[in-house]
Structure 1
Amino acid sequence: MVNNINGSNTFKTSQVELELLHTLLEDEDDTYPWNPCDEQSDDYYLQLEQQFQMEDVLDEELAMRSKTFYKKLDTLWSGLFNTEDYKHNTKIAFLSELQQTLQASFANRVPQDWLKSIAQKATEIFNSQQTIGEQLVQCVQTVLPQWDSDDLFVMARPLAFAMRSGETQTEDSVIDMVGNREWTQLAEVEKAKVSMAIAYYAIGQLNSISVTSDQ
């Protein structure tokens, strides 16, 4: 009978029950004051209240300091982005990527020095106060300086309108303008049109590079 009782699960004590028993058997000074009416419990509750008040003050101060910190950080970043060194390094990075893109897309149809000149001018005037038409004309005049700007503006007008409408210039459309002919076989007006299309493509690529770098 005794063995049956000792072996029964009825008298097995869980860890939670042991911890509760241990708490109840501790000295009163080390345990929670179960009787709120006891005078000695006032000090305990006062100490807790002061602790909570201190935590509230610390949280409020931390929030204020965090706002100040992030505001200073934003100011520092803004100042960094507006420095001449940052702008110069950014343009170098944009130019390098744009040149690689133009070379990979058109080097087998258009002279490399033309692509390099258009890329340099497009990067130089990118995000300027000039209109899209003015940017296109300046890019083409770097490779065709003998062309009158008014004539180039007429050629640039439909492309400028297309860019404002969100239309993009594809590689294939530029390549189709050259066809299977050698560059030297193209007439001057054909070279101007191809150069204008490449300038349009270059500015579109710069817009994409700029958006990617900001993310």
Structure 2
Amino acid sequence: MANPSPDHADSAAKAHVKAQVEFALLDRLHLEDDSPYAWQSLEFHPQLDRELSIDDSDLDWTDAAIEAGATRFFQTLDRLWDQTNVDLTEEASPLTRLHQRFGDRVPTDLLTTILDRAAALTGKVERSGQAAIAQLVSCVDGSIVGWSSDDWRTIARPYALAMRDQSARSTVSEDVAWDDLSKIERAKLSLEITLAALEELQCDDTSIGD
């Protein structure tokens, strides 16, 4: 009997080693994962069906049963809401409250600018005289193109009086969009927002102190 050639013997050895490596790899994977999938796919799907099985015979799918279940569900939601309901107005930030009052009438960046400047006055707000006018102007100066500080001081006088008497009221129509307002109307509305911002900040400080 002829001896196998060296090349044939080498190929057979390599095939044997490869088979051993593959078997070892499969065995290692099987040991690391006890789940039937994917090496035991015939067992996997029946097991999954058993775990997720629902007995339809126990369910009532009539319209009346569905409607009754929906009613109970929404009643539960209403009860939970009543138990957790809070005063959103009290918890809202000054910016949020300003936005609720003026957000649909003026640009948001104007509200933010006025509030930021008003916040810088917290604790030292003047409520009458030239100092009050100057503080009002400091909150709105530069917000309207072409208006000087002198223009602002002139129109801010009645608002400074309103600060002292706490009798501010809107003089600008709420039905007119910001872009359709005249410069004077925009200035008046900006000053109204400033008074509101100072009021909101004062209320916020008071609530924190309480």
TM-score, normalised via structure 2 length: 0.49
Larger helix proportion, structure 1 or 2? 1
TM-score, normalised via structure 1 length: 0.48
